[in-house]
Chains A and B, each alone.
Chain A
Amino acid sequence: MEARPPVPPPPSAAPGAGAPREEVGIAPVRPNGPVGAAVLAAGIGSLVLAVLVIIAEASVSFADSLAYSERVGPLAGKTIWAVVAYLGSWLVLGFALRYREVNLRTVTIVAALLIALALIGTFAPFFQLFMAEE
């Protein structure tokens, strides 16, 4: 069985240009785990915000407990905890995935789902469906 000679790259193209490194046999320079962590953290932070918005709408006492500043009201707690969730999840995932290769397509789909849910959850006509009866 005759072995096929390797196809040389076109002279004008840099090695691997326009194609993933895996396809051209070049080892990735940096693992994509930290990127996956950053993207997932954005989705988690957004979703936590949406969940807090819905729960605060459904429970006056919960909303009041988030009013760390009297001037800002419950929005203070909702946004503070969303940012804490965002940074915290980024820190944890970033540490866990710092040397790892992840399937970035799958991570992107999961993050897109989280962000889509967050957009629905922060849409006023949606979260007002859960409004507590006065």
Chain B
Amino acid sequence: MRALLWEGVNELAVRDVPDPVLRNDGDIVVKVRRTVTCGSDLHLVGGYIPFMRAGDVLGHEFVGEVVEVGSGVRNHSVGDRVVVSSFIACGRCWFCRKGLFSACDNGNTNPAITETLWGFSPGGCFGYSHALGGNGGSHAEYVRVPYGDVGAFRIPDGVSDERALFASDSVPTGWMGAELGGVTPGDVVAVWGAGAVGQMAARSAMLLGAEKVVVIDRLAPRLQQVVCFIGCDVIDYSSTDVHEALLEYTGGRGPDVCIEAVGMEAHSSGPGHLYDQVKQQLRLQTDRPTAVRQAIYSCRKGGSVFVLGVFAALVDKFPLGAVMNKGLTLRSSQMHGQRWIPMLLERMERDEIVTEHLATHVMSLEDGPRGYQLFKDKADGCVRSVLVP
């Protein structure tokens, strides 16, 4: 089959690779119909997460059709149109039972790497390095899905592939930020990052009853999408002092819930960005936490900060004093998709969540490297590049 491969730091190529096969009774094999670039892939492409091997298939957010099922699969049949959670979870361990699917004890076949790095291992993920299992990614014609009964969900007839695609990762990630961030009716919520995850976090906050929601970014096409498709307020940080703007937006209180949807390659408009970038390039810190710092600083006393963006290891100048003295609740997680995807598909069917506008660039799998280039450069208004194998 054809697949988009990581060939080395900043090198991608589409080549022929062996088809995936069923390896466990609970596996299914899915023929990919749509697969999409994610901001977190850029950390792999750029070598910031150093656990890729030449030939690894990228991609973790996808929809497709079931073409093979293992002998232990009960919920799926050949021909099912499914969306698959990006995180691989067994559904049977204590963490899965508690809804913490991305913390699954059994979903990562290489647990020692992340145990060594982080103390304990999260679950596995498609196309997201050998630290998270070395599983083949979805930027391919076919993908093996372990624990298929747990991680794959039939798409309702009323939901298109184009919409359901984002139920694989972006929408549940955004929902998680709002729900686990503790959004309640009447809250004021600020979201850093107007990419797909940030937009979905904002929409989720609105659905959970937030009275005012504002999204912060510098990219005009994304901010326009927020206004047109999400229907909330925006702040352009390249021309506005974010903290002052948030004080004014909240009557001097600060947002009740702050959701960071940017990650380890954050930008900012001040000299802090240069400082962080130099330290990251010299590997004196692995991640640039600019947006996290700002969210902590601007959050109201006793408020909640949720970190949705992907971070790999160490950050510098973390404002722990603000967390402690303001009494903030700081939470974070990888995405517990299995917990929310069925509910989110229902909301998609009722048009409460729309995602088609996120797919600004749709192209063939063969054009995948160009899709990543556009996505990385944020060129031509690219929010997400969708690949069609």
- Whether chain B is bound by chain A comes out as no
Q: Which residues of B contact A (CB under 8 A)?
A: none
